[in-house]
Structure 1
Amino acid sequence: MTFASVTRTATALALVAIVSGCGWASRISTDVDTSQLPNEYNPAVDDDGNKRDTIWDLFTNFDDANTTLEVNRYIWLASIDILNFLPVERVDPFSGVIVTGYGTPPGGGRAYRATVYVTDPALDARSLKVALNTRSGPADPDTVRAVEDAILTRARQLRIEHTRL
């Protein structure tokens, strides 16, 4: 008998044992009624009370649809403070979106409208996205950057004021 034939025989026996064991557990009768168990002790039910039918249910997404995103409160408040000359059209503090109408800044002649998106709870420049439009199209990138800088500076000031309390 060669090493290759012994290896093939052992592999075949292992495969037969694995395949035959797949249906074996379903033929065992148990005296425990799992429907009467609390969810934390019932392996057929996940944490949210959803019934698991197959192993593939472990890979499904049972996340709560009502979960909200976290936004940085200082950036949020600073955005409203800096853009206070613009009329607010829509605000969603749970997703971090502020949409304004057209307004003219103090001492300026051109009307702007802004959409601010706060994407992260960190007080960081990556957490803020600002889109400015004029009546003739997108605003100058330097203007957008100046507004972003003003919002971030004000957010840092608000944070410092809050830590002093």
Structure 2
Amino acid sequence: MEKQFEKYKGIHPGIVLDRELKKRSLKQRPFALSIAEHPQTFNAITKGRRNLNTALALKIEKELQLEEGTLVFLQAYYDIKEEKNKQENSAPDLSLLRQSLFWDTEINRIDWLRQYVAVIERVFERGNNKEKEEITNFYGVEKVQSVLMAKDKKLPLINLK
């Protein structure tokens, strides 16, 4: 990987590509067409909304005369960063939740992402305000409200500041 791109590890390669195009005064649409890529797809990549596949990365690197593999490595580092973020945020702060809320299961074995409906319902039926706040922070206000509304539960949400 070129040294100039080392500082971009963990940033979406499309963002880096967009900066590189601007630095070279190249417009996205003509560049995308020059490498036989759909401009809409290319735009989604440069906005970080779509991942950069290896075949396209090689075409871009060749056209921009970048070292082969630079954008592929940036995509890999970005994927690693995203996966680490997912793993870190895979459970709420268990020190704020009473184990007695989950008397029928081991709290450490709960799949917080797959079983979110049951978790939200249980905490909002039996939990205290601190526990409700932690679950709301973990899942987000919209997700909590949608679960509670879907079950026609009129349980009060805590007031988050």
Q: What TM-score does the superposition give when structure 1 sets the normalisation length?
A: 0.24
Q: What TM-score does the superposition give when structure 2 sets the normalisation length?
A: 0.25
Compare CA radii of gyration and give the structure with the larger one: 1
Which one scores higher on RCO, CA 8 angstroms, separation ≥ 6? 2
Higher strand fraction (1 or 2) = 1
